[in-house]
Amino acid sequence: MKRIGIIGAGAWGTALALVARRAGLDVVIQAREANVVDAINETQDNKIFLPGVALDKGIRATASIADAIEGDEGTADALLLTVPAQFLRAAMGELADS
């Protein structure tokens, strides 16, 4: 496995992204919030959902579920869904559309 996509950039998704990156995987994490995407990409942090934890520069964030699955880095070998239960139906609908 070389690339992992993570849907949901809350505390759980961000922590899993960090673990996957430390294991040597290419990581693309999807967030609905533009400020979270920008913070992860520009300052390597997620102060909204996981404050005080420095992220690896190799973690790339996107607002697009489709990009988390298949982007410039290729197709994800695994996809983790880390969205809260109340948002799972909407995320699955967006995933089906991508």
Q: Which residues of 45-83 are buried (b: 16+ CB within 10 A; e: fewer)?
A: bbeebbeeeebeeebbbbeebebbbebeeeebeebbbbb
- Find out whether 31 and 61 touch, Cβ atoms under 8 Å: yes
* Residue span of the structural domain in which 53 resides: 3-97
- The tens place of each residue's pLDDT in the chain, 98 residues long, gives 899 999 999 999 999 999 999 999 999 999 999 999 999 999 999 999 999 999 999 999 999 999 999 988 789 999 999 999 898 888 888 878 76
Report the number of distinct structural domains present in the chain: 1
What's the confidence (pLDDT) of residue 95? 78
How far apart are the C-alpha atoms of 52 and 85, rounded to whole Å?
25
The single residue listed with the structure tokens 């942090």 is: 45
